[in-house]
Amino acid sequence: MTGQSAHMKQALPTFDRLQRPLKDLRLSVIDKCNFRCPYCMPKEVFGKDYPFLQHAQLMSFDEMQKMARAFVGLGVDKIRITGGEPLLRKNIEHLIESLARLSTPDGRNVSVSMTTNGVLLAARAQGLKDAGLERVTVSLDSLDDRIFRQMNDVGIGVKGVLDGIASACQVGLAPVKVNTVVQKGLNDGQILPIAEYFRHSGVTVRFIEYMDVGGATHWRSDSVLPSEQVRALIEQQHVLLAEPVLRASDTARTYRYADGGGEVGFISSVSEPFCGDCSRARISADGRLFTCLFASRSLDLRPMLAEHVSPEALMTSIADAWERRDDQYSEWRGEQYREHGRKKYPTVRMSLVGG
C-alpha cells in the first residue's frame, strides 16, 4: 500500500508485512514516573535522579490530538494513555476530553483508556470519568505492604493504590483491570492473595509474565513464572473456565471463576508469545513511533506535527512505517538475542513508551 493516496489510506485498513492490522495506539504522555519498579526503571540502572524529559520536549496536547487523529484515520479504534505515570501530566483530563470526541471513518466512537500505577487515582477518578475516560488498568504487584514498597523502590505504601482502584470502580471506569507482574522469588507468593482479594469485586486481575523490557537488564529466564503455573496455582482453589477469545490481538487469555467470582487473565508473552496478532503501535512522550515494545529503533514523527504539515502527510508517514513493520521480538526471543539466559537485545526504555 506504500505510495497510495491519503484518501485510500483513510478508507482502507493499514497492514504490516505480516498482515497485522493497525488497530491500537498506546500514547505515552510523559516519561516521568514516581515509582522505580525493578522490571521497568531500576535505580541501579537509571539512578535515583534520572533526567526525565523536560516539558518542552514532551508533545503538547494539540500535537497528541493531531497524532491520534491520524492513527484513527488509519484504522485505530482504541487509544490507551500511558507513561511513565500519566497522572503526573498536568491537566491530562483536557487531552482525554479531546480524544474521547474522535470517531472512526465509519462513525464509531474511539475507546479511550489509561494505564496507571494508581497512586494518584483516588482523587482524580471522577474527573477522568467526566472527561470521557472509559476504562482504567492499575498496576499492582503486591498486597503485602513490605513487598509493595520493595518493588516500587520509593517507599510508597499499597493503601493509596487500593483506594484508587476502589474509586475507579465507584465512578464507573469499568471494567477496572489490575495488572500484576509476577517475578519468581520476589512476589510469586502474592498470586493467591491478589486473586482472592479481587474475586467478586468486578475487577479483573491479569497476571503478567516477567518480561525482558527496556529497564530489566538483570532479567533472566529462570525468574519467569509461566502463566500455566500461575493458573494451576489458582485452580487448586477455584475452578476456572476459559472464556472465548473476542479479538485475536488481545494480549490476555481470560478465565472466569465457575462459582461466579468474576474473571482472571494471564498474559504470557514469554512462554506463549502473541506477536503474530499484535496490532499495537506506540508513540513515545516525545513523538516517536515504536512498532514494538522491545524495539531499538523508532521514527521521529515530531516534525510531521508542525502546523505547515498536512494531516494527510502525517498519515502517509505513519502508514508507510507500519507497512514496513515485521517486529516479532517475543517470538524471536532465544539464542539470537540471549546467551546463557541473559538478555542481550537492546530495547527502548518502557517508561518512555508505556507498557
Q: Rounded mean pLDDT of the chain?
A: 89
C-alpha cell at 227: 502463566
pLDDT band at 258 (very low <50, low <70, confident <90, very high): very high
List, for residues 121-163, the tens digit of each pLDDT value: 999 999 999 999 999 999 999 999 999 999 999 999 999 999 9
- Which string of b and e fits 72-95 if b means at least 16 CB within 10 Å? bbbbbbbbbbbbbbbbbbeebbeb
Residue 23 lies in a domain: yes
Higher pLDDT, 247 or 301: 301
Looking at the chain, the whole-number percentage of residues with pLDDT higher than 70 is 88
Q: Mean pLDDT throughout 247-263?
A: 89
Residue 122 lies in a domain: yes
Rounded CA-CA distance 6/212 in Å is 37
C-alpha cell at 129: 470519568
pLDDT band at 293 (very low <50, low <70, confident <90, very high): confident
Say if CB 54 and CB 232 are below 8 A apart. no
Domain range for 250 is 6-353
Q: Which residues contact 315 (CB under 8 A, 6 or more apart)?
A: 6, 9, 10, 70, 73, 74
List, for residues 93-117, the tens digit of each pLDDT value: 999 999 999 999 989 999 999 999 9
Q: In this structure, which amino acid lies at residue 95?
A: L
Closest among 349, 289, 283 to 52, alpha carbons compared: 349
Rounded CA-CA distance 131/164 in Å is 17
CA-angle at 208, arms to 123 and 243, nearest 5°: 95
pLDDT at 256 over 50: yes
pLDDT band at 75 (very low <50, low <70, confident <90, very high): very high
pLDDT band at 272 (very low <50, low <70, confident <90, very high): confident
Looking at the chain, the whole-number percentage of residues with pLDDT higher than 90 is 71
Q: What is the pLDDT of residue 335?
A: 46
Distance of CA 342 to the CA centre of its chain: 24
Count of domains forming the chain: 1
pLDDT at 334 over 60: no
Q: Are strands 111-116 and 78-82 parallel, antiparallel or unpaired?
A: parallel
Rounded CA-CA distance 10/48 in Å is 45
Q: Which residues contact 41 (CB under 8 A, 6 or more apart)?
A: 33, 35, 50, 215, 349, 350, 351
pLDDT band at 346 (very low <50, low <70, confident <90, very high): low
pLDDT band at 215 (very low <50, low <70, confident <90, very high): low
Phi, psi values for residue 147, rounded to 5°: -65, -40
Q: What is the CATH number of the domain that holds 277?
A: 3.20.20.70
Phi, psi values for residue 119, rounded to 5°: -65, -35
**Helix (H) or strand (E) run with residue 266 in it:** strand 263-267
Residue 1 lies in a domain: no
List, for residues 6-35, the tens digit of each pLDDT value: 444 444 579 999 999 999 999 999 999 999
**Eight-state DSSP code of residue 204:** E
Closest among 262, 242, 237, 238 to 254, alpha carbons compared: 242
pLDDT band at 298 (very low <50, low <70, confident <90, very high): very high
